[in-house]
Amino acid sequence: MRILLIDDEELSLKAISGFLTHQLGHDVSECDNGSEALKIYESNPFPLVISDIRMPGIDGIELSRYIKKLPGSQFTDIILITGYGNMDSAVQALRAGAYDYLLKPIDVEELATIVSRVEEHLSLLKENVDLKFHFDKKVDQATSEVQEKYKRIQSAYSKIVGVGNIGIFSEKMREIRVLAGKLHQDRSLPILIEGETGTGKEVVARMIHYGSGEITTPFISINCTAIPANLFETELFGYEAGAFTDAQKKGAIGKFELAQGGTIFLDEIGDLPLDIQPKLLRVLEERAIYRVGGLKKIELDIRVICATNQNLLQKVKEGGFREDLFYRLNVGYIQIPPLREQKEAIGPLAQLFLTQYVEKKNRRFRFLHRDAIETLEKYTWPGNIRELQNTVERVILLYDDIEIKPEHTRFLTGVDGANPSSTMQGGGSVIEPGKIKLPPEKLDLKALEEEIVQKALQHFNGNKTRTAEYLGMTRSALRSKIKNP
């Protein structure tokens, strides 16, 4: 496809042009100002025009309006490029007839996706003109072309993105991405990732596994809190035939063997039973396992990554985690900061989630109002990135507008408008010792206790360790109350 690209910043111009030309195979004409671009377009119209908004002389919005007034411009789509803080101009651009917009710095995955949508859009427009004359032929041709383009874009994604659509918007996360790239080079190093629930520990683990290239080796993920204590050993190491009652006749391989050549990710490693911890230590030191009931040593070629939302060093001091295992895992260490300590990332992350969900849910939302961003930045995000993602999805389900506005996010502050950090999720008043008022007739203490436990679980997104600490009880006591309401 022929593309007219306009940007007065030479480095940006060359970078975008190179990607469109070499990675996606388009024919790109470059221009550094709006006046010259208009002359070039008038002499030979382009199917796609990509222009920066802020330029001397004719800016991107004016250029868009001029082009849309020219004959035949119904077969031209315009994409405008704007800085993160220039959302008002982007809204004006859409109203002036632009097809879509891109935020600086340019995300190549998003660029490829939008260009692909433009191709499909223009293809449909042209088909509507001559469909009655060449229906069968045109449908087959368009289908073949779209499929071919999709394959090329998929290939470009795998080379450029690597592990998927991940937003890196803070200096700390950029440092973690660099560290993940270094750790990717040595598969023999055990790695420990610490961070609160919802901070993206598994995402970082996948970054370490995939690196920046196409990796086809397995990534096996295990949540240590989801496996009953009596099944841990067979789940991790597998078992031989007849190893125990009800064992399969042929035995079974464990998760470590499934991860051969790749990565095993042990999430919530702080909850690994104490009797399994020395066995994991032996695996890390010998890089080999024995199946339960087996005598044959099985050599392992795997990377081991562990993650936890607990302070493992503190747990070692309390006797809940083996010291030798902790220091063995701590060879490669990554600490992910909570979202409240990355305020500069909240707005861009919300915009990223907005773009993803809008396409899935078919909504009109395109931007976040700056006041809405301020509201999000003031919130403490106990559930971190996962809670932010759920919040954006909830707004998109409940509303349909061009911008996310402050009124769309009022549920974050609770029904009484208090600071979310001082209330339990779902609203209501804070329970404070010495200020509790008893009902005049009867108090259902059991029901009140159940409600407090459920509210606390919701507040910490189901994290039992943090809930138990908050309520001043042990995890086993909390489990008992959940199982026996």
pLDDT in tens, 386-417: 999 999 999 988 888 889 999 998 888 653 33
216 in the same domain as 192: yes
- Percentage helix, strand, coil for the chain under 3-state DSSP, each rounded to 5: 50, 15, 35
pLDDT band with cut points at 50, 70 and 90 for residue 150 = very low
Q: What is the pLDDT of residue 162?
A: 38
479 in the same domain as 459: yes
Bridge pairing between strands 288-290 and 297-299? antiparallel
pLDDT band with cut points at 50, 70 and 90 for residue 172 = very high
Per-chain mean pLDDT for the chain? 83
CB neighbour class for 273 (10 Å; exposed up to 12, middle 13-18, buried from 19): middle
Considering 160, 195, 223, which residue would you say is the last residue of a domain? 160
Residues 318-322: what's their mean pLDDT? 94
Residue 377 has pLDDT above 80, yes or no: yes
Residue 59 has pLDDT above 80, yes or no: yes
Is 40 a member of any domain? yes
Bridge pairing between strands 403-404 and 77-83? unpaired
For residue 74, what are its two tokens?
């119904």
Q: What is the pLDDT of residue 439?
A: 66
51 in the same domain as 186: no
List, as one string, the DSSP characters of 105-158.
SP-HHHHHHHHHHHHHHHHHHHHHHHTTTSHHHHHHHHHHHHHHHHHHHHHHHH
Which phi-psi region, left, alpha or beta, contains residue 287 (left: φ > 0; alpha: ψ -120 to 50)?
Answer: left
Q: What is the pLDDT of residue 103?
A: 80
Is 72 a member of any domain? yes
pTM over 0.75: no
Q: What is the pLDDT of residue 414?
A: 57
- Opening angle at CA 188, ends 187 and 189, nearest 5: 95
Query: For residue 221, what is the DSSP state?
Result: E
CATH number at residue 417: 1.10.8.60
- Rounded to whole angstroms, the Cα distance separating 121 from 118 reads 5
Residues 283-296: what's their mean pLDDT? 92
Query: For residue 95, what is the DSSP state?
Result: H
Domain ranges, residue 87? 2-160
The larger pLDDT score, comparing residue 272 to residue 363, is at 272
* Backbone dihedral angles phi then psi of residue 83, each to the nearest 5 degrees: -75, 160
Quick one: which H or E segment has residue 2? strand 2-6
Cβ-count burial 451-468 (b if 16+ within 10 Å, e if not):
eebbbbbebbbebbbbbb
Residue 3 has pLDDT above 90, yes or no: yes
Q: What is the pLDDT of residue 358?
A: 86
85 in the same domain as 20: yes
pLDDT band with cut points at 50, 70 and 90 for residue 314 = very high
The larger pLDDT score, comparing residue 90 to residue 236, is at 236
Is 436 a member of any domain? no
346 in the same domain as 318: no
Q: What is the pLDDT of residue 193?
A: 97
Q: What Cα–Cα distance (Å) separates residue 281 from each residue in 218, 327, 463?
A: 22, 10, 26
Residue 6 has pLDDT above 90, yes or no: yes
83 in the same domain as 108: yes
Quick one: which H or E segment has residue 77? strand 77-83
- Rounded to whole angstroms, the Cα distance separating 208 from 210 reads 6
pLDDT band with cut points at 50, 70 and 90 for residue 154 = very low
Q: Is the dihedral of CA 206, 207, 208, 212 positive or negative?
A: positive
- The most confident of the ranges 13-27, 230-244, 325-339, 442-456 is 325-339
Is 440 a member of any domain? no
309 in the same domain as 385: no
- Count of beta carbons in the 10 Å neighbourhood of residue 95: 10
- Rounded to whole angstroms, the Cα distance separating 482 from 478 reads 6
Cβ-count burial 395-420 (b if 16+ within 10 Å, e if not):
bbeeeebebbbeebbeebbbeeeeeb
259 in the same domain as 155: no
Residues 4-21: what's their mean pLDDT? 91
- Rounded to whole angstroms, the Cα distance separating 105 from 4 reads 19
- Evaluate whether 265 touches 205 at the Cβ level (below 8 Å): yes
16 in the same domain as 102: yes
- Residue 78 carries which side chain, given as an amino acid letter? I
- Rounded to whole angstroms, the Cα distance separating 119 from 75 reads 11
- Residue 351 carries which side chain, given as an amino acid letter? Q
For residue 201, what are its two tokens?
């520990």
The larger pLDDT score, comparing residue 374 to residue 439, is at 374
Lowest-pLDDT range, 35-44, 147-156, 201-210, 219-228? 147-156
**Number of independent structural domains in the chain:** 4
186 in the same domain as 106: no
Lowest-pLDDT range, 14-28, 139-153, 367-381? 139-153
Percentage of the chain exceeding pLDDT 90:
45
451 in the same domain as 385: no
110 in the same domain as 29: yes
Residue 303 has pLDDT above 70, yes or no: yes
Q: What is the pLDDT of residue 144?
A: 65
Cβ-count burial 185-198 (b if 16+ within 10 Å, e if not):
eebeebbbbbbbbb
Q: What is the pLDDT of residue 127?
A: 72
